[in-house]
């Protein structure tokens, strides 16, 4: 059993990186360091192994598939979790799916939202870990600490001189600073990076031994799953019966066959704005700037702009993150407290905690460029060959103006062809749909008017993407 099947865990909302990372477009699906998204960077690291398995939630499934295709990953399996139950169930689903062809395989489990500078060192560690994994051991990769970090859990390894794989002595929760400093002095402690390598059958055996309720419920969920092309859709009723737990608590802290392999590869989990600042290239004053940014007499700061100029003068040790509909300013040492803002937004019923102004959909995207009492204006992009759902609205009418491209519009019993500078009116209650039959994207302006303009005022009759709400 020498084959390696990558398992990429692509859940999570990344709320500590708000307002850039939000529930509907979290950090792993964005490019925070330039170039590829974090998911794409993760996939690049495992290029050449067997067909990967990605575990993600319902809202992200088409964006995950699109980003994988953009870098040449045409063959992959995407497991759709209707409800997140933490890492132990997610890995169990992947192990069960990987075994469906009747052959065991080594699962290389990776979060989708981590950065690695030295991919060569990482792949060398995987090769080393394969020796232990193929012998039935459960391997985790421990990052050699570079500082007494209090934001990570630690793994203590047995002090052995032979081989790279060291038996695990214990897992330690995030320590206070004094304790973290003692770990570095003592040696043998590694940051817990949440990366694993083990046989699918070996993992399920240990899961059954130490967390049998998870193993049983996960097996039922995968058995009942609906297979749609490359998607494995788990049913919500089944997943809600799966106990929620992390792989550390469910298996790794209890197993007697756990190994850790030390890894030095410039790793970061990008868990906060301060950790992103550490990972980015900085100028001579210690500033990391992303986007259209001008700084004057600033130091040790992170400044991120999205679609317009951001300027700062005379600031030190600050985080400034500007997006189309929210701006964050905070001292760098308070980066972990951003989650408190997200919680306040949720309590207030505001959608900035989960939606950017520009929202990605399976068919393209829309940008809410203006709104007021009883009206809203959106710029909509529909991808080639894509189609909005056949739908109607109870409370709003819509006026579509095509800016570029050619669209086919269904309106009740009519079919209308629209070209550039042409428009159509969709009255309240009319069934309607827009399709892009061409090879170029359609750009259009949508003007909504009515008593209620919320995104939940949609009744879907047909949808090629399987959406019901």
Tens of pLDDT, residue by residue over 124-141, are 999 999 999 999 999 999
Above 80 in pLDDT, residue 160? Answer: no
Supply the pLDDT for residue 209. Answer: 98
Compute CA 279 distance to the chain's CA centroid, rounded to the nearest angstrom. Answer: 18
- What value does the mean pLDDT of the chain take? 94
In this structure, are 212 and 315 located in the same domain? no
Q: Calculate what percentage of the chain has a pLDDT beyond 90.
A: 88
Above 60 in pLDDT, residue 150? Answer: yes
In this structure, are 73 and 210 located in the same domain? yes
Residue 347 lies in a domain: no
Supply the pLDDT for residue 162. Answer: 63
Structural domains in the chain (count): 3
The pLDDT-based confidence of 229 (bands split at 50, 70, 90) is confident
What gap in Å lies between CA 411 and CA 395, rounded to an integer? 17
In this structure, are 113 and 48 located in the same domain? yes
Residue 247 lies in a domain: yes
Residue 350 lies in a domain: no
Mean local confidence (pLDDT), 439-456 = 94
In this structure, are 312 and 246 located in the same domain? no
Last residue of some domain: 224, 239, 268? 268
Q: Which helix (H) or strand (E) is 402 found in, with range? A: strand 396-404
The pLDDT-based confidence of 143 (bands split at 50, 70, 90) is very high
Burial class (CB in 10 A: 0-12, 13-18, 19+), 239: buried
CA dihedral (275, 281, 287, 292) in degrees, to 10, reads -110
Give the pLDDT confidence of 415-435 residue by residue, as tens digits. 999 999 999 999 999 999 999
Above 70 in pLDDT, residue 324? Answer: yes
Q: Which long-range contacts (CB under 8 A, 24 or more apart) does 117-122 make?
A: 117/265, 117/266, 117/267, 118/264, 118/265, 118/266, 119/44, 119/45, 119/265, 121/263, 121/264, 121/265, 122/45, 122/263, 122/265
Mean local confidence (pLDDT), 133-153 = 94
In this structure, are 315 and 222 located in the same domain? no
Last residue of some domain: 221, 246, 268? 268
The pLDDT-based confidence of 329 (bands split at 50, 70, 90) is very high
The CATH number given to whatever domain includes residue 387 is 2.60.120.10
In this structure, are 320 and 385 located in the same domain? no
In this structure, are 151 and 84 located in the same domain? yes
Mean local confidence (pLDDT), 395-403 = 97
CB-CB contact of 444 with 402 (8 Å): yes
In this structure, are 391 and 328 located in the same domain? no
What gap in Å lies between CA 143 and CA 219, rounded to an integer? 32
Give the pLDDT confidence of 249-297 residue by residue, as tens digits. 999 999 999 999 999 999 999 989 999 999 999 999 999 999 999 999 9
Helical axes 38-45 vs 119-134, angle rounded to 10° = 60
Last residue of some domain: 306, 338, 370? 338
Residue 179 lies in a domain: yes
Q: Calculate what percentage of the chain has a pLDDT beyond 70.
A: 99
Give the structural domain span for 76: 4-268
The pLDDT-based confidence of 164 (bands split at 50, 70, 90) is confident
Residue 348 lies in a domain: no
Supply the pLDDT for residue 376. Answer: 95
Residue 331 lies in a domain: yes
In this structure, are 145 and 284 located in the same domain? no
Mean local confidence (pLDDT), 225-244 = 94
E-state strands within 264-374: 267-268, 288-290, 293-296, 302-304, 310-313, 318-322, 327-331, 358-361, 364-372
Residue 184 lies in a domain: yes
Give the pLDDT confidence of 7-45 residue by residue, as tens digits. 999 988 888 999 999 988 999 999 988 789 999 999 999
Supply the pLDDT for residue 368. Answer: 92
Above 60 in pLDDT, residue 1? Answer: no
Mean local confidence (pLDDT), 330-347 = 93
Compute CA 89 distance to the chain's CA centroid, rounded to the nearest angstrom. Answer: 17
In this structure, are 263 and 332 located in the same domain? no
Mean local confidence (pLDDT), 97-109 = 95
The CATH number given to whatever domain includes residue 40 is 3.90.550.10
Above 90 in pLDDT, residue 88? Answer: yes
CB-CB contact of 48 with 123 (8 Å): no
Residue 469 lies in a domain: no
In this structure, are 162 and 213 located in the same domain? yes
In this structure, are 187 and 296 located in the same domain? no
Give the pLDDT confidence of 42-73 residue by residue, as tens digits. 999 999 999 999 999 988 998 999 999 999 99
CB-CB contact of 12 with 85 (8 Å): no
């Amino acid at each position: 059993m020498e084959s390696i099947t990558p398992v990429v865990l692509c859940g999570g909302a990344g709320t500590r990186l708000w307002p850039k990372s939000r529930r509907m477009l979290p950090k792993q699906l964005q490019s925070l360091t330039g170039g590829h998204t974090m998911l794409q960077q993760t996939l690049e690291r495992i290029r050449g192994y067997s067909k990967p398995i990605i575990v993600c939630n319902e809202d992200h499934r088409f964006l995950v598939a699109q980003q994988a295709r953009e870098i040449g990953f045409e063959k992959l399996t995407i497991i759709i979790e209707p409800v997140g139950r933490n890492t132990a169930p997610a890995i169990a689903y992947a192990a069960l799916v990987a075994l469906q062809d009747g052959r065991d395989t080594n699962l290389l489990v990776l979060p989708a939202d981590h950065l690695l500078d030295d991919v060569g060192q990482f792949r060398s560690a995987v090769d080393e870990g394969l020796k232990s994994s193929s012998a039935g051991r459960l391997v985790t990769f421990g990052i050699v600490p570079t500082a007494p970090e209090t934001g990570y859990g630690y793994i203590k390894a047995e002090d052995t001189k032979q081989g790279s794989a060291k038996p695990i002595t214990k897992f330690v929760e995030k320590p206070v600073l004094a304790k973290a400093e003692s770990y570095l002095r003592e040696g043998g402690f590694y940051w817990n990076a949440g990366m694993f390598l083990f046989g699918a059958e070996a993992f399920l055996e240990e899961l059954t031994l130490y967390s049998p309720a998870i193993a049983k419920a996960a097996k039922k969920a995968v058995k009942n799953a609906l297979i749609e092309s490359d998607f494995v859709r788990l049913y919500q009723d089944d997943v809600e019966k799966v106990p929620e737990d992390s792989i550390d608590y469910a298996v790794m802290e209890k197993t007697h066959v756990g190994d850790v392999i030390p890894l030095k590869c410039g790793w970061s989990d990008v868990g906060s704005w301060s950790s992103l600042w550490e990972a980015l290239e900085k100028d001579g004053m210690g500033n990391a700037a992303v986007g259209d940014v001008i700084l004057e007499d600033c130091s040790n700061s992170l400044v991120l702009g999205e679609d317009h100029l951001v300027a700062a003068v005379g600031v030190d040790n600050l985080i400034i993150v500007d997006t189309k509909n929210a701006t964050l300013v905070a001292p760098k040492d308070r980066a972990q407290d951003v989650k408190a803002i997200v919680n306040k937004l949720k309590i207030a019923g505001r959608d900035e905690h989960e939606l950017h102004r520009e929202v990605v959909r399976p068919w393209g995207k829309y940008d809410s460029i203006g709104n007021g009492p009883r009206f809203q204006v959106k710029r909509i992009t529909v991808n080639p060959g894509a189609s909005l759902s056949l739908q109607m609205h109870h409370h709003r009418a819509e006026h579509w103006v095509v800016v570029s491209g050619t669209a086919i519009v269904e309106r009740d019993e009519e079919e209308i062809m629209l070209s550039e500078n042409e428009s159509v009116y969709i009255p309240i209650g009319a069934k309607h749909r827009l399709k892009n039959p061409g090879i170029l994207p359609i750009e259009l302006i949508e003007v909504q008017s009515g008593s209620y303009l919320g995104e939940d005022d949609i009744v879907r009759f047909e949808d090629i993407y399987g959406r019901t709400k």
